[in-house]
Amino acid sequence: MPADTKRVGLLLSMETDFGRRVLRGVKQYALANAHWRFAYRGTRPVVTLKELARGEVDGVIAQVWSAESIRYLKALKVPVVNVSNSVSEAPFARVRTDDMAIGELAAEHLIARGHEDLAFSGPPGDRYVLLRREGFVRAAGKSGLEVLVAPENCYGGPPSSEAGRRMDKWLSGLPKPVGLMASSDNHGRQVVFHCEQLGLRIPDDVAIVGVDNDELQADLAVLPLTSIDPAFETIGHRAAELLDGRMAGRAAPEADILIPPRGLVERASTEGLAVGDELVRRAAEFIRTHAAEQITVDDVLDEVLVSRRKLEKSFRAALGHTPYAHLIKARLHRAKRLLTETDLPVNAVAEAAGFGDARQFSTTFRKSAGMTPSAFRQQFSNR
């Protein structure tokens, strides 16, 4: 074993998509940049708190979730990088999701779908839930909208429990249609179940956005859930980079390192527009279906058979932007998925997303995302 090899302990939950994807990012960094040997539990590179306490490690990447875990990890007297946002006062360097930005992205998506009534549901207690709610409320406020938040007594029991009945009552009393953010995909699936039991249509009555983008569960779901991808692999990669520096003697950053979400993956739970204008709905559906085919606004006009002035006026009234802006948003959304989920060259991504010119694509993308397509791929790719 080389003299500079470091033994690293991983305290991650392999039962969750979060833990598995963080581990993937850690592995990517270690293979490319570091001489690391992982402490193993049997055949798995993940250990328990007590196993960590018995072994010798030079550093740890951990989901810190309780006072007990803090006590064990402090006793090791080695650098620790926390990748969890469940506990607010853990005394370790931390790389975490930008939960405020996640909440803001959910609100922006629902508002862009035409929702003027918004709601938030998530079990209180964990810090990330509170921050996602705060971001959601803040983004809604920028558009002059208020958010209806589920009461704290709606959680903690099965659908048939008193808490479940309170959730039913809250959902039934929401104005319809409503755009709802669930604090996670797991909770979002619970909301879907309650809506189905109540006879509420998704997305017509209740459009739902979750968080985590667990693609396996999304593909198996009866009603696929629109979800925000928090870029868990990037969290793992950045945490490994930070731990490498800490084990080399570099100081820990004073503030948390925030990882912005990779983006939003739209599925059936928010399809369609919550607007009363049939013209806008028809035009937007045509754009959604054909945006990658290098259509123009003239093609949209040929489909809906109205004047450009009337269509633009209708879009501005219903959605706050023009048909052209709607078309560009649809193409950028597709481009982001292609950048993170495929190895297509940037010019091929531009063509597949509906941009006729790679230079125009790069300029438009940078203006929207604040970085070049290549930089976006490097930061957020999950391949």
Among 240, 270, 300, the domain-final residue is 270
Same structural domain, 84 and 121: no
> What pLDDT is recorded for position 83?
95
Q: Are residues 81 and 138 in the same domain?
A: no
Q: Which residues, 6+ apart, have CB-to-CB distance to 333 below 8 Å?
A: 263, 264, 266
DSSP per-residue string spanning 116-131: -SEEEE--TTSHHHHH
Same domain, 250 and 222: no
Q: Are residues 152 and 77 in the same domain?
A: no
Q: Which residues pair with 11 in a beta bridge?
A: 62
Out of 61-65, 140-144, 155-159, 306-310, pick the least confident: 155-159
Does residue 164 fall inside a structural domain?
A: yes
pLDDT of residue 309: 94
- Please give the pLDDT value at position 251: 93
Has residue 1 been placed in a domain?
Answer: no
Query: Do 253 and 304 fall into the same domain?
Result: no
Does residue 169 fall inside a structural domain? yes
Q: Are residues 225 and 186 in the same domain?
A: yes
Q: Could you give phi then psi for residue 298, rounded to 5 degrees?
A: -60, -35
Residue 212 is assigned to a structural domain of this protein: yes
Same domain, yes or no: 141 and 158: yes
Mean pLDDT of 245-269: 92
Spell 80-97 as b/e; 16+ CB within 10 A means b.
bbbbbbbbeebebbbbbb
Asked if residue 335 and residue 374 are part of one domain, the reply reads yes
What is the number of domains present in the chain? 3
Of 214, 249, 270, which residue sits at a domain end? 270
Q: Calculate the average pLDDT of the chain.
A: 88
Tell me, yes or no, whether 174 lies in a domain: yes
Structural domain span for residue 173: 99-230+265-270
The CATH number of whichever domain residue 140 belongs to comes to 3.40.50.2300
pLDDT of 43 strictly over 80: no
